[in-house]
Structure 1
Amino acid sequence: MSYSVGQVSAFAGVTVRTLHHYDKAGLLSPSGRSHAGYRLYSEADLVRLQQILFYRELGFSLDQIAAIFKDPQTNAQQLRARQRQLNEEIARLQRLAEVAQRAIEVQQTGVVLTPQERFEVFGEVAFDLSYATEAELKWAHSNGQREAMARAAAHTKEDWRHLMTEAAAWRAELLAAFDEQEPGDGERAMDLAEEHRRHISRWFTPCPPDMHRRIADDYTADPRAFALVVPPSQQRPGLAAYLCQAVHANAARRTGGPGGTEEDG
């Protein structure tokens, strides 16, 4: 039995234009023609169309589908690779959904700040949403990240005011040490790094030296992370690397070596 382009379009759920495109691409050429020269599709053509639509639904390009048809032995390999990609995407979307849920929970805590109050509390420190989302995805399986989010959500307006005042005083000391060219691995810089570590533990989550190292590495790798500590208007060239050096030196001081660990205290 043969079917016209219009019939195939109707029951396959694709446009006539799409069928013509598949024909031009060499993926699906109708097996026959009517006496008037119109395209006619056979049962075998419909099976091939079903395969094309299956691969398209999985996200394969037309070139990839053509390669599969040319060498059917690559079919299983291609499907396994695509399955891995889809599983990774599903996991990423699941983590993103969890991030959205946490954001909803934070908004439901009742700590709502007007723009004026937000400036009074946070000043120039800006929370980049794209960085926050990426951090959530990066540390999604970290107990420390989950605890930090939970404690941040529970902070009252006064908690945030106290926290930010404490952070501003520490930041002023850090800038003074840097401007006075104190060595990044010197006592003064290491003491400031230790104060920063304890600040994180006090307000967000226990921060042992090894975790503090990873946090400091983010400061040098991503300007958005460092902007949470020092607003761009107060930054100096080399300041992020200076703080990172101080954190690593302090971690080594506390653990007895570069790779050592110690419980928070």
Structure 2
Amino acid sequence: MNTNEVAIITGVSVRTLHHYDKIGLLSPGRNPENDYREYTENDLDMLQQILFFKACGFSLAEIKVMLTSPGFDRDKAFVLQKKYLLHEKERINAMLDTLDKTIRSWKGEQEMTQKEKFAGFAMGDNPYEEEARRLWGEEAVNEYNDKINSLSSQEQNVVTQNMEELFQELGKIRLEEPGSPLAQEAMDKMYQFFNKNFGYHYSLEAFAGLGQLYVKDERFLKNIDQYGEGLSAFLSRAMKIYAEKQ
């Protein structure tokens, strides 16, 4: 299914679909004859997940991290999304009730207290939103920081210097396709480097999860992209592909 057909079926504009592809959120395959985007059923399922999470108030960066997290569970996502939307439904119903009462009050048909005038406008933090972040977002950040902080100052300095050289080399290939042989060879070098220098072994899932931090955490994104604009997004995709192919 091409981009125009997807746009007609889903109501998502062609421009938005192109943007999702550009940022690595939803990147369909390409027709080898004309290089046009071709969306599979799995791509459409992924798009549905994106739209559900958007309806739940998540940013595109957060959605990308959750959907590409090694621990992402679609069944759990459906449950959380339903709970979130039911929570939002209750809030909207409360606001509609307040609006109806306000209209009647404006017409002099009933009286309202000051507190009643603001019923439904604030219901506190949504617990299901926090649960989603804990399952597929913040937990990965905390785990990575704990591991880095376990190194001595001298070890951290050595790792920093070596990583500086590594990311300078990675910056030179950031315009390559993430799944290309050149990119994947670089990912293997990066994977081996991390496992050799950090004093512990990265599983493939953890390696892919680390890649998500590069686009999730602004600190990582800013530091990595200093070696070349778009490097963080390139690495995020390339590391995920590497982990899936091993």
TM-score category of the 2 structures, normalised to the smaller one = 0.3 to 0.5
Q: Which has the higher contact order (CA 8 A, sep 6+)?
A: 2
